Structure 1
Amino acid sequence: RNYRYENGESFDVLLNQFETFHLEVNGTDLSGTFIEGTRPIAVLAGAESTVIPSLSCTQNCETQTVTQMIPPIEGLGTEFILPKLEDRSKFIYKVISSEGGTHVTTNTGTMDLTSPGSVVEVEATNHPISISSDKPILVVQMAETMKADDGNASGAMVVIPAVQQFQSDYHFSILDDSEYRNYISIMIKTGDEQDLRIDGNHYSAYNNTMDHIHLKGQSYTIINMPFNQYGGHVVENIQGNPFGLTVYGFKQFQGFGFPVGLKVTNH
């Protein structure tokens, strides 16, 4: 309490079962922070009141709360596909290294992360991004808040599942809020999309647009669709082929996003 910690310093916290520890800082980005427990723990991170990107607004800002469950290091990966975001003209993504000397290749360039916990933030035009790395990384996609991006939608933050963590079926819910414009994005190997079913229906029964992108010699199809059917839903590949799924939505002054499940296995 009332102690100033500098970069590279650490501290210990003792927690009993089901206790929580809350760390809050002002004006500091905690991206790249390492958290280690002697027993299993869950970690949520985000910002209570922020603008995305951080320098896009200096006064009369419409701020946004963004929060995500952070996967453990063994749940990270080396191959990622970022879908475009409907309703937006651009987005931000962050790449965070788990090890030093990490080389990252995207379909728009390369980057090197020299130390564990190194962070690179990129503003991209609204098109799909493929990312591969030689060591496990965390990738987060962020919709920009009002005044940074045109329109009346606010921001959102989504942890992008690695291709290695794709599953063959997912369950999720859409809340009953008519003000939200909700969307889903499906990332799947090209050809496997023909076996996709949404609530038992072929995906083509739903209004959608498609993008295609290559990642390490493999073609992937990205299916983007508005999805405002409230209640619980199941998306599956009836042949058991894995795919990634994210859900997000926007309304004035508010937004949300999340990955629908991660198969947390050792990379």
Structure 2
Amino acid sequence: MSGVRTSFLRNGWGNHMEEMIIPNEHLGRDFIVPKLYDSQCNFRIFAQTQTRVRTYNNSLVNYINIKRGSFQDYVNYNLYTLQSSAPVQVQLYCNGASTRYDAFMATLPSIQHFKSSYKFPIVNVFKYPYLPHHFYITIVIQSYAKAGLRLDSKEISNYKGTSTVTLESTLYSVITVELSVGLHKIQQNNDIPFGLIVYGRTKYSGYGFPAGFAIKIKP
């Protein structure tokens, strides 16, 4: 989990953020980079080897080459898909849409990392008066499978936002739900895998993390 207080992206003050990374042998190739609700996000693609990445933002296809040990940044993006010729790592860096000091950093699961169920905490243990008070999950799932999602054993009916994007002729939905503090469980009834990012924020604090990874993948 990456959580920081009064951190501001790209302000020149050297704000420090840390996040877990996954081993090179478990990196993925195909990503849907969601636009998080109430957020202004950047993302970075890290390449462990020379790679060529196809990017698509629902309107424009582009190809970029990234050298071994280098990275490519995208600032204030909308919904993207990425397809890489070699396994890569993708990091999100997000501020709130209307605030500046609540940034967090999160490792983005690839399609190959998706799971069909997750247990995850929503926490609020920041020092007063910087307690996060809005908490969200963003789900990335094949559109036909979203009806089979169950959150804490109930159907999801109250979305904060939805959008769609196509990857390899498959339509995916990006769904955001606001949650309360506590331990939660989400699953897809037919075991269709999906991705999950958890995050919370207030004006001066923010945190975010991927809810889990399937690590027995074939990159």
- TM, length-normalised to structure 2: 0.85
Change (3 A) 1:115 1:152: closer
Change (3 A) 1:186 1:87: same
Cα distance per residue 1:118-164 (max 9 Å; x no partner) = 11111034x3221111111111111137xxx6425510111110001
* Contact kept in structure 2, 1:74 and 1:264, CA below 8 Å: no
Please point out which of 167, 178, 181 is paired with 1:226.
178
Describe the SS at the equivalent of 1:66: coil
Q: Tell me which structure has the larger Cα radius of gyration.
A: 1
Task: Tell me how large the CA RMSD over aligned residues is.
Answer: 2.6
How many angstroms does 1:66 deviate by?
2.4
The answer on 1:192 being equivalent to 2:150 is no
* Contact kept in structure 2, 1:153 and 1:250, CA below 8 Å: no
Please point out which of 132, 135, 139 is paired with 1:182.
135
Please point out which of 200, 212, 218 is paired with 1:261.
212
* Contact kept in structure 2, 1:246 and 1:258, CA below 8 Å: yes
Q: Which amino acid aligns with 1:84?
A: K
| Structure 1 segment 26-41 matched on structure 2, within 5 A | none
Cα distance per residue 1:28-52 (max 9 Å; x no partner) = xxxxxxxxxxxxxxxx999999641
Change (3 A) 1:137 1:49: farther
Q: Which residue of 2 aligns with 1:161?
A: 109
Change (3 A) 1:77 1:162: same
The answer on 1:115 being equivalent to 2:115 is no
Describe the SS at the equivalent of 2:213: coil
Q: Distance in 2 between matches of 1:162 and 1:230?
A: 27
Please point out which of 18, 35, 44 is paired with 1:94.
44
Q: Distance in 2 between matches of 1:194 and 1:94?
A: 31
Q: Which residue of 2 aligns with 1:9?
A: none
1 or 2, which has the higher strand percentage? 2
Change (3 A) 1:65 1:202: farther
Task: Identify unmatched segments of 5+ residues in structure 2.
Answer: 126-130
Question: Structure with the greater relative contact order (CA < 8 A, sep ≥ 6): 1 or 2?
Answer: 2
Change (3 A) 1:180 1:239: same
Q: Which residue of 1 aligns with 2:163?
A: 211
Q: Which residue of 1 aligns with 2:187?
A: 236
Task: Identify unmatched segments of 5+ residues in structure 1.
Answer: 1-43
* Contact kept in structure 2, 1:64 and 1:155, CA below 8 Å: no
Q: Which residue of 2 aligns with 1:202?
A: 155
Q: Distance in 2 between matches of 1:176 and 1:49?
A: 16
How many angstroms does 1:174 deviate by?
1.0
Change (3 A) 1:218 1:210: same
Change (3 A) 1:233 1:221: same
Q: Which residue of 2 aligns with 1:52?
A: 9
Q: Which amino acid aligns with 1:104?
A: R
Equivalent pairs: percent with the same residue?
Answer: 25
